[in-house]
């Protein structure tokens, strides 16, 4: 590495997460400069990140890398929702063609040492044949045929190709679980912001979340550490979809899968929620990823568990349900507190045991 700190190029800084990631990386002591790249200028405060207006879909990006003597590229410009990009075609072009151009430029840049790509656990898909926890070596049981998941699968393929062609390049692929936070807008957060949650009748998906702060932290961590490889990044623990809805105190409406899909596409066209088609299978079967390698090889420990990240997300949301909880707590207030009694275990054993035993 250059002795006086690294020069980091971050793509996709016009969006909130990209901008925050760029600022977070800039605050790292080993980093000398951070250059943010995007087609539109970022809306928020960039701090000491210098912004270069460039499209990663054309070869100009190679000149930026060469001229600024970039040694680390952080690729954040993978869009998950067609709505924000202006249609599925634009989204696919941004994701796939943009990544191809960027990686081509990376291959030609002799000074480049490190590539960090923010991927997602969506590449594992979601089906009834899934193992409970995906490790990094596992493949999706059904190859994605469309949408975001297919984009990400293709992007990962190109990234692996670059890794083969440039063995001197350290490539870190971070497969992040669904990022959640008070200000994150993504398909899953817009789903949970609905006042009433449509769920798939008879299924209860297992969900894993990664807090926004932890995503920024893991990006910073992987820029400054000498580790490479593919890592699942997710908060500890699992929340069931029903449990998540109860924690948000949101009423749920179970309906058959096709009805949820229809409602989702209606909500998308009405621009109420960015409900993507692959989200339906996610909300049906759910997904869990194993984070052992993240802890042991990458050496990263998320600050938020899945439940804590979700609680932080939910703390700013208005409550739309929770009537039964109020009734129960009102009833419970009429009764003495059961737990401080020291004789509790014996009393449980006598009448309760007889009843339930």
Partner 1 sequence: MGDAEIIPIGTRGRPGRGTGTQPSSAARGLAPKSPAKPKAAATKASPPRSAARGEAEPTEPAASTTPPAEPVAPAAATRPSVRTEERHPLAGVPGSDWLAAFQAAALEVFGEQWEPQLARFLAFLRRRVTGDYTVDEYGFDQEVTQRFFMAALRPIAEKWFRIEVRGIDNVPTEGGALVVSNHSGTIPVDGLMTMVTIHDHIGRFLRPLGADLVFQLPIVSSLARKSGATLACSEDAERMLRGGELVGVWPEGFKGIGKPYAERYKLQRFGRGGFVSAALRTGVPIVPLAVVGAEEIYPLVGNIPGLARVLGVPYLPITPFFPLLGPLGLVPLPSKWLLEFGEPIRTDDYEGGASDDPMLVFNVTDQVRETIQQTLYSLLMQRESVFR
> Segment contacting partner 1 (CB under 8 A): 16-24, 35-43, 212-220, 244-252?
244-252
Chain positions 27 to 86 lying near partner 1, rule: CB under 8 A, are none
State yes or no: residue 168 binds partner 1 (CB under 8 A).
Answer: no
CA nearest neighbour of 184 among 80, 264, 308: 80
Task: Based on the shown chain and the rule CB under 8 A, indicate whether residue 252 belongs to the binding site for partner 1.
Answer: no
Distance (Å, whole) CA 159 – CA 73: 12
Q: Which one of 88-96, 216-224, 282-290, 296-304 is the stretch in contact with partner 1 (CB under 8 A)? A: 282-290
Q: Does 329 bind partner 1 (CB under 8 A)?
A: yes
Q: Binding residue for partner 1 (CB under 8 A) from 44, 157, 299, 338?
A: 338
351 binds partner 1 (CB under 8 A): yes
By beta-carbon proximity to partner 1, the closer residue of 251 and 277 is: 251
DSSP run (H or E) holding 99: helix 98-108
Least distance from partner 1 to the Cβ atom of residue 215, Å: 21
Cα(8)–Cα(11) distance, integer angstroms: 10
> What φ, ψ does residue 78 adopt, rounded to 5°?
-115, 115
> Should residue 204 be labelled a site residue for partner 1 when binding is judged by CB under 8 A?
yes
128 near partner 1, judged by CB under 8 A:
yes
Euclidean distance between CA atoms 257 and 270, whole angstroms: 20
Return the residue of 232, 237, 273, 308 that touches partner 1, per CB under 8 A.
Answer: 237
Is the CB of residue 171 less than 8 Å from the CB of residue 163?
yes
Distance of closest approach, residue 356 Cβ to partner 1, in angstroms: 6
From 14-22, 36-44, 63-71, 330-338, give the range in contact with partner 1 by CB under 8 A: 330-338
CB-CB contact of 173 with 217 (8 Å): no
Angle of helix 277-285 relative to helix 257-269, nearest 10 degrees? 140
Between 131 and 160, how does the x/- string for binding to partner 1 read (CB under 8 A)?
A: xxx-x--x----------------------
Q: Which is nearer to partner 1, 27 or 341 (CB)?
A: 341
CB of 218 to partner 1, least distance (A): 20
Q: Which is nearer to partner 1, 116 or 280 (CB)?
A: 280
Helix (H, G, I), strand (E, B) or coil at 22: helix
Which residue of 15, 166, 170, 206 would you call a contact of partner 1, by CB under 8 A? 206
- 124 near partner 1, rule: CB under 8 A: no
Pairwise CA distance, residues 15 & 125, whole Å? 25
Could you say which of 240, 253, 272, 319 contacts partner 1 (CB under 8 A)?
240
Q: What is d(CA 181, CA 211) in angstroms, rounded to the nearest whole number?
A: 6
What DSSP string runs through 272-320?
A: S----HHHHHHHHHB--B--HHIIIII----SS-HHHHHHHHHTTSPP-
| Shortest Å, Cβ 147 to partner 1 | 22
Q: Out of 244, 260, 273, 283, which residue is the one contacting partner 1 (CB under 8 A)?
A: 244
CB 309 within 8 A of CB 180: yes
> Distance between CA 94 and CA 78 in Å, rounded?
8
CA distance 92 to 244: 31
Q: Which of 150, 288, 300, 302 binds partner 1 (CB under 8 A)?
A: 288
CA distance 225 to 243: 37
Contacting residues toward partner 1, per CB under 8 A? 128-133, 135, 138, 200-204, 206, 237-240, 242-247, 249, 256, 285-286, 288, 307, 322, 324-325, 328-329, 331-332, 335-339, 341, 344, 347-348, 350-352, 354-356
């Amino acid at each position: 590495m250059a002795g006086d700190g690294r020069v980091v190029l971050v793509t996709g800084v016009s969006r909130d997460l990209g901008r925050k990631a760029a600022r977070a990386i800039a605050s790292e002591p080993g980093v000398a400069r951070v250059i943010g790249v995007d087609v539109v200028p970022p809306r928020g405060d960039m701090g000491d990140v210098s912004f270069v207006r460039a499209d990663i879909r054309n070869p100009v990006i190679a000149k930026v890398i060469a001229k600024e003597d970039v040694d680390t590229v952080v690729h954040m410009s993978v869009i998950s929702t067609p709505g924000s990009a202006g249609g599925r075609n634009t989204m696919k072009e941004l994701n796939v063609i943009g990544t191809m151009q960027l990686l081509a430029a990376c291959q030609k840049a002799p000074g480049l040492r490190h590539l960090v790509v923010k991927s997602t656990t969506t590449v594992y898909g979601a089906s009834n044949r899934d193992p409970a926890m995906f490790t990094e070596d596992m493949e999706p049981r059904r190859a994605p045929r469309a949408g975001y998941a297919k984009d990400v699968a293709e992007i990962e393929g190109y990234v692996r190709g670059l890794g083969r062609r440039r063995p001197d390049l350290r490539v870190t692929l971070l497969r992040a679980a669904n990022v959640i936070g008070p200000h994150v807008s993504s398909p899953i957060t817009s789903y949970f912001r609905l006042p009433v949650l449509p769920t798939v009748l008879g299924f209860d998906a297992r969900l894993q979340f990664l807090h926004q702060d932890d995503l920024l932290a893991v990006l910073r961590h992987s820029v400054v550490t000498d580790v490479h490889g593919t890592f699942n990044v997710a908060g500890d623990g699992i929340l069931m979809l029903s449990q998540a809805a109860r924690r948000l105190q949101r009423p749920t409406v179970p309906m058959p899968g096709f009805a949820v899909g229809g409602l989702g596409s209606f909500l998308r066209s009405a621009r109420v929620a960015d409900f993507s088609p692959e989200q339906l299978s996610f909300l049906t079967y759910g997904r869990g990823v194993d984070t052992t390698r993240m802890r042991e090889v990458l050496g990263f420990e998320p600050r938020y568990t899945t439940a804590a990240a979700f609680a932080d997300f939910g703390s700013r949301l208005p409550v739309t349900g929770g009537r039964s909880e109020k009734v129960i707590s009102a009833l419970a207030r009429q009764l003495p507190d059961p737990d401080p009694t020291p004789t509790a275990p014996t009393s449980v054993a006598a009448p309760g045991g007889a009843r339930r035993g």
